[in-house]
Amino acid sequence: MQIFVEHQTHYDYEEPVRYAIQRIYLTPREEPGQRLIRWEVSGSGELSHQRDAFGNTVTTMVIARPARHVFFRVSGEVQMNPREMQSSRVDDNSVSPPVDVFLRQTSLTIPCAEMMEFAAMLSPSSSIQELLLLAERVEDHLTYTPGVTHVGTSAIDAWHRGAGVCQDHAHVMLAICRAAGVPARYVSGYLSGEARASQATHAWVDCWLQGQWVSVDITHRCLATDRWIRLAIGADYESVSPVRGVRRGGGLETMRVSVTVHH
């Protein structure tokens, strides 16, 4: 299956930005079952690309001249092959850190006592069915509700609120899996087709079970297959946030985002 993506972000400022730098994780990973046919990244500033420690492609955009309007755009086509995904998602230290790195909790994934109780449901030898049951229980507790959390909301904060979005579902699942001794990593990406969560940048989790990574979308209570385009993997949202940056000047900022993902 081929999936087409068009993603544009525009920033308008009340006064000129004197300098800005953005870190952009919006290039799909080259993995078994996921191949880039065409992918382009463009923007208002100077662009450079490199690989990070997790094997993700990170683009840096620098605005070095005064500007009141800034944009970046990604577009392309990705070939997805579910058979290759199912048979080849094993650990590869040439493109990512050792599995045990993903046992470490972060400030966004520290579990509370109630989450620790959920951890008893899982172990490194658990089945996919047991993993999906845990995902269902997490989503039952954390109702999908846009607008009630933000990018800095921790797993504990979202858990006590009882509501959140895909990012919060992922952080809670990471907290529980790691507490159970199951390595787990955050995945950011796009989701094609009709879905409960936004088809813009989505989030789910890879869990290390029985010697391989299993991708599970907690928000949709299912395995992530060929409609899920993988952009980046990391310890949590902060490590692979789709766009992050700093600027000097500009004053009030207005942002407009347009995303289309279809197959």
pLDDT digits (tens, 9 = 90+) for 214-227: 999 999 999 999 99
Window from 85-94, 136-145, 169-178, 186-195 with minimum mean pLDDT? 85-94
To 10 degrees, the CA torsion angle through 201, 144, 245, 61? 0
The pTM of the full predicted model, rounded to 2 decimals, is: 0.93
Q: Mean of the pLDDT values across residues 25-34?
A: 94
Higher pLDDT, 10 or 194: 10
What are 238-253's pLDDT values in tens digits? 999 999 999 999 999 9
In this predicted structure, the answer to whether residue 140 has a pLDDT above a threshold of 90 is yes
**Alpha carbon distance 57, 240 (integer Å):** 10
Q: Report CA-CA distances (Å) from 141 to 118, 147, 188, 197, 219.
A: 11, 17, 22, 17, 11
pLDDT band at residue 263 using 50, 70 and 90 as cut-offs: confident
39-58: string of b/e by CB count within 10 Å (b at 16+)? eebebbbeeeeeeeebbbbb
Question: What is residue 168's predicted lDDT score, i.e. its pLDDT?
Answer: 97
In this predicted model, what pLDDT tens digit does every residue of 71-128 receive, in sequence order? 999 999 999 998 777 544 555 545 568 899 999 999 999 999 999 999 999 999 999 9
The pLDDT value recorded for residue 89 is 55
pLDDT of residue 97: 81
Q: Does the structure show a pLDDT above 60 at 177? A: yes
Specify the pLDDT at position 88.
Answer: 47
Q: How far apart are CA 73 and CA 208, in angstroms?
A: 34
Question: What's the residue count for the chain?
Answer: 263
* DSSP of 140-151: HHSEE-TTS--T
What mean pLDDT comes out for the span 158-186?
Answer: 97
On the 0-12 / 13-18 / 19+ scale of CB atoms within 10 A, 93 is exposed
